[in-house]
Structure 1
Amino acid sequence: MKHAERSQERDIVTSPTVKTRVAVSTLNQWALDFEGNRDRIIESIKQAKEQGAKMRVGSELETTGYSCEDHFLESDTTDLAFDVLADIIESGVTDDIFCVIGVPVMHEGARYNCDAYVLNGTIYGFKAKKHLANDGNYYEPRWFTAWSKDRELEDFILPPRLERLTKQKIVPIGDFVIQTNDTILGSEKCEEMFVPNNPGIDMALDGVEIFANGSDSHWEVGKLQNRVRKIFRTTESSGGIYIYANSVGGDGGRMLKDGSSLIIQNNTVLAQAPQFTLDTVTSTVATANLTAVRSYRSVAGSARVQADKSKSYPRILVPFDMGLEAPTELPTEPVEPIFLTRAEEIAKGPALWMWDYLRRSGASGFFLPLSGGLDSGSVNALVGSMCHMVIDAVQEGNKEVLADIRRIVADEDYIPTDPRELAGRISVTCYMKGPASSGKTESRAAMLAREVGSDHFVADIEPMVREFRETMRKIFGWELRFEHEGGTRAEDLALQNIQARVRMALAYLQAQTYRVSKGRNDNFLLVLGSANVDEANRGYFTKYDCSSADINPIGGLAKKDLRIFAEYAAEKFAYTTLKGIIADKPTAELRPDSPDGHQQTDEEDMGFTYDELGEVASLRKEERLGPVSMFQRLVELWGPHTEKGMSIEAIENKVKYFHVMYAINRHKLTTLTPAVHAVGYSPDDNRFDQRPFLIPKNWSYQFKKIDRLAREYEKDFR
């Protein structure tokens, strides 16, 4: 391709009604799975062509998988991504379809996150991402360089294999748009849609009519609505056909991608891919009306003025007709976007993440310490939800899911038809009875396991706990006692913690040997954790207890969300035991009842209700409030003048207590079991919530200011 071609512009050929058919691919890619990623991309392009699409858009970095993280720093990763791109071109699938393929590119010592524009085996350019995600879960500037040369191109020299295949030596890289015979195409990537002045607006003012957005956006409960609003921001103001590709599934990290790729025209949705699908390749196609886009833009006088003044992008000419040669074909009718309820999202999101981890890890199923409480009960119900999703996929003809489940259960003829029967093959639960365990929780654990279908056991850990107490008596010369037995607070906590840690050790022992007990010596079970996000923020868990596991499906979910899900699962899946569990006060059952019958409860131990903890944690993380500003905000939310009616002194005490306990327990968060990210106030130390793990627990300077403010507030409220 000659440099001179890029600087030329030509008039768009118009006709009374110009329609085009476009496809968006929703792929379940996996970091570093180059062969699998390649095959899914090729299959998606084939499906798009079979449905008559003129253009196919894939997700961000689909050749490598988005979550390669520091593997992007290895030259292998970019080199192999180009091998994948060469494989795709060599397969011939890009003939007669304009493909947007996500690929990392190393150019002149800098690594760029790019879209490769490919048609008929020719690479027309690499569009580089200008705005990199650098907050929350994202650290793109660690691996990539933002393209800073606005609307400029440079020459990129293709590696030898691509040069031989494409008969090209140099292709453009940078910030440009594509001009076909009958329309103009442009693209922005994921984060660029969320920035205040997104490139899509500038491209629209320069005549771009079809926008591609190869994204890899993670799931949070309720986030899809925000994505749709962001796309509408571009198309409502400027018109256009917006093709938003999002991947689906867990690609090797803590984030889950929820799919739901979209094709939007002007301010309406033409097509939407399913959310949380188990299909690894989904092709969604719509017939869009370019004439309607032009008509939409023609009535906006102020937009026309801005377009006249806008700076032009370099245009790369592509001799290709995007319009359909089918004048009688009707455009796709708009549809209402589908948004799942909060309960439905929680039922499907973590279940999909668990499924991907299970099928890719080589494990034969899950092992869960089942306490009879809401947290572990919710995890067991999520296993059941996953089984329902697997059977639905098999009944819909998904051969890949069928092959995966046959491999997991080691039965090449198996066809799952009953969720309970499937759970019995891949889910093992155990109630680990300790000195403070009750008959009620033991019974509920057994009933819930039966409703889900899990293979359930009961283990008595009291003899092991007695042995630890006896060992400590021999070491110290005196016996450890609970507080109600006359012991100290330190002894009481130590005796609670040893029960929890015994359960962890026993869980892993059972997970590693369960298959042996069934006459098999071929695999292992993944241990599931069941600590919720509220308890993690408060530090209300034992370090290296049974919350320490291989993965934790609810580690990013609040207690209030677990209640919502449990109510849903009780009705949807007939897990009716959950109703009784919801009604009870949560308890760890680690401390025996006192002589007066007082029972341990979680909220009493924590000094907060779960709802209060969720609100405090959200203020800490999402609103970025420290102790002083949190106190001031909580006076507004909880103070004497509010419905909650809490005194200034009570708010002061809660804020101080939370931060003292947070500081004391911060070290625990460095050991949190990997959990699916689900809410914006997760304390996940490993990537989302970066803070030191040794903090002054007295917060003396901050607390002195709170003291002064509290006295002032008390005067104001008298």
Structure 2
Amino acid sequence: MHLAGYKIRAWRDAHKPPLSAEEFGIQFGDPWPSRTVYGWESKGKVARPPVQRRLADLGICSPEDWLEPAPEQDTEDSSVVSQNDQFDRDTRDHPFFDLRQHGMVRVATSTPKTRTADIDYNVEGILAEAERAHDAGVDLVVYPELCVSSYAIDDLHLQSALLDAAEAGIARIVAASADIDPVLLVGAPLRHNGRVYNCAAVIARGQLLGVVPKSFLPNYREYYEKRWFAHGRKIRGMEITVAGQTVPFGADLIFAASNLSGLKLHVEICEDYWAPTPPSTQGALAGATVLANLSASNITIGKSDERHLLARAQSSRAVAAYLYCASGHGESTTDLAWDGQGMIYEMGDLLAESERFSLNAELCIADVDCERILAERARMQTFNDAAEAAGRPEDSFRTIGFELAPSDGDRGLVRPVRRFPFVPNRQHKLDEDCYEAFNIQVDGLMRRLEATHAKSMVIGISGGLDSTHALIVAAKCCDRLGLP
């Protein structure tokens, strides 16, 4: 249990008059269902960032409280523990409650505190967020593009002193990660054979697993990346030396967890997913189930919607999870602006999104169902056909193995669960969805009456919602067919 849940329950009880979970959710939420409130209080569920901000504004609990354990509760006889509580603890220790037993992995996007070209400060911010993710039971964290150096530093990208410091910064993160559970995807400018590449470093538990270069470099409008960086589209089967450590380097890398068979990770960087042929498409066809994008991506009006469109489409088309993380407050605003958007999609569904334009570091968390992704790919023979048509990318990609930190049992579930799983979960388009659902039924009944040459219909009316709806569908069908 976390401190936030403890404080919410105490606040409800101290209210005059005391509030039930349902009353609390209606009065102070949008609304929050009682089961959601109970999930925070007694099951360790973590609220979405906007809800955390709302509770903080009400003075109930702070965002940090969601990562702190609840205090031990005193009783008149502390040696007496109720049988129900003991049963609950024993049950929660069962392997069934471990996310990984169900093929799930806890992922996060993080927009850390940043200062332009201040690598020591940026590394501290990256590690602070890594610690927060560790405390939240996260397995994988995606940071923004060039987060070690910061993005908007122009020709400083070519300065030897900065590049040396960036390499030393990566070494610091690698060393510190030995005591941190999550796999970290960190952006930095790195040198190889006399060229500078815009890279993503994949770090896990004290090891630098590999480095992925950016494939597509924007060089239009406000972007000048080809002035500083070389593209990495054709880099395959190569190695790079970073801070004295030689590791795999290229656009042909898949990172696979040895202790979670469904977790295979592909990495691309910012502009890569704006390209007509994103590298992550090949990564997915090579077997990756989680696609990560380290992005700087300055913000302009309407661009957030475009990012959602691309992430949703790629996660759906590639039958995968897509993690996207953009740079936020602290980047230079001499020429550009930043919003720090982070989002997590799974097969077209938005699981979580960070607060935008936040002054504070943001950690956006969700549980991704790798088993569901693999099951859908097995059903969808088009996916296998596409892999074959692309020349079987799995045969040419290199797989880098790693081991996730041991799981600590029940971590709760950080994932929206639909009340109505067979209809779209989008309140803003409810009228359109209802229009489609109704007319699907009407059209189907019309065709059935035409095919069978039926002259009448018989409907049993109970007075309930189902039979009433059936009557309305039948009446509309008769109207359209010109029947009495």
TM-score by length of 2: 0.61
Matching residue within 246, 249, 256 for 2:337: 256
Of 359, 370, 375, the residue aligned with 1:278 is 359
Could you list the runs of 5+ residues in structure 2 that have no partner in the other structure? 1-98, 419-424, 429-484
Structure 2: which amino acid aligns with 1:285?
I
Q: State the SS of the aligned residue for 1:288.
A: strand
Structure 2: distance between partners of 1:118 and 1:234: 25
- Could you say what secondary structure the match of 2:249 adopts? strand
Tell which structure's C-alpha radius of gyration is larger.
Answer: 1
**Greater relative contact order, per chain length (Cα 8 Å cut-off, separation 6+):** 2
Q: Which residue type is aligned with residue 212 of structure 1?
A: A
* Aligned counterpart in structure 1 of residue 402 of structure 2, from 319, 322, 336: 319
Query: How far apart in 2 are the matches of 1:123 and 1:15?
Result: 24
In the alignment, which of 141, 147, 152 is matched to residue 67 of structure 1? 152
Structure 2 counterpart of 1:200, one-letter code? S
Out of 238, 254, 259, the position equivalent to 1:154 is 238
Give the Å deviation of 1:326: 4.0
Gaps of at least 5 residues in structure 1 are 1-13, 164-168, 340-718
TM-score (norm 1): 0.42
SS at 1:66's partner residue? coil
Q: Percent identity?
A: 24
User: Distance in 2 between the 1:55 and 1:170 partners?
Assistant: 23
Matches within 5 A, 1:213-228: 213-228=293-308
Q: Which residue of 2 aligns with 1:100?
A: 185
Residues 38 and 321 from structure 1, CA distance in 2 versus in 1: closer, same or farther, beyond 3 angstroms? closer
Which letter does structure 2 place at the counterpart of 1:77?
Answer: L
How many corresponding residue pairs? 316
Instruction: Please state whether the residue corresponding to 1:36 is helix, strand or coil.
Output: helix
SS of the counterpart of 2:402?
coil
State how far apart, in whole Å, the 2-side matches of 1:60 and 1:190 are.
7
- Within 5 A, what are the aligned runs for 1:384-399? none
| Structure 2 match to 1:310 | 392
SS at match of 1:177: strand
Tell me which moved more, 93-102 or 29-38: 93-102
Counterpart residue type for residue 240 of structure 1 = A
Tell me the residue number matched to 2:4.
none
SS in 1 for 2:308: helix
Task: Give how far 1:72 is off.
Answer: 0.8
- Secondary structure, in 3 states, of the residue corresponding to 2:188? strand
What's the secondary structure of 2:277's corresponding residue? coil
Aligned partners of 1:22, 1:268: CA distance in 2, in Å? Answer: 15
CA distance in 2, matches of 1:337, 1:283: 24
Q: Flag the 1:223–1:81 CA change in 2: closer, same or farther, 3 A.
A: same
CA contact (8 A) 2:266 2:288 kept: yes
- Cross-structure match for 1:333: 416
Distance 1:292 1:245 in 2: 23
Residues in 2 aligned to 1:235 and 1:323: alpha-carbon distance in whole angstroms: 28
1:172 corresponds to? 248
Cα displacement (A) at 1:94 = 5.8
Query: Of Structure 1 and Structure 2, which has the larger fraction of its residues in helix?
Result: 1
Q: Which deviates further from its counterpart, 177-186 or 101-110?
A: 177-186
CA distance in 1, matches of 2:409, 2:302: 39
**In structure 1, how many angstroms separate the alpha carbons of the residues matched to 2:292 and 2:104?**
17
| Other-structure match for 2:21 | none
Matches within 5 A, 1:472-491: none
* Partner AA of 1:215 in structure 2: S
Match of 2:289 in 1: 209
| Alignment correspondent of 1:291 | 371
Matching of residue 188 in structure 1 with residue 268 in structure 2: yes
* 1:60 CA drift (Å): 0.2
Distance 1:195 1:320 in 2: 32
Residue 249 of structure 1 aligns to a residue whose secondary structure is: coil
Measured after TM superposition, the shift of residue 148 of structure 1 is: 3.2
Counterpart contact for 1:125–1:173, Cα < 8 Å:
yes
Quick check: 2:270–2:293 contact (8 Å CA) kept in 1?
yes
Whole-angstrom distance in 2 between the partners of 1:250 and 1:86: 23
CA distance in 1, matches of 2:239, 2:315: 32
Which of 314, 329, 338 is residue 234 of structure 1 equivalent to? 314
Offset at residue 321 of structure 1 (A): 3.5
1:265 to 346, 352, 355: 346
Q: Could you tell me which residue of structure 1 aligns to residue 223 of structure 2?
A: 138
Change (3 A) 1:83 1:210: same
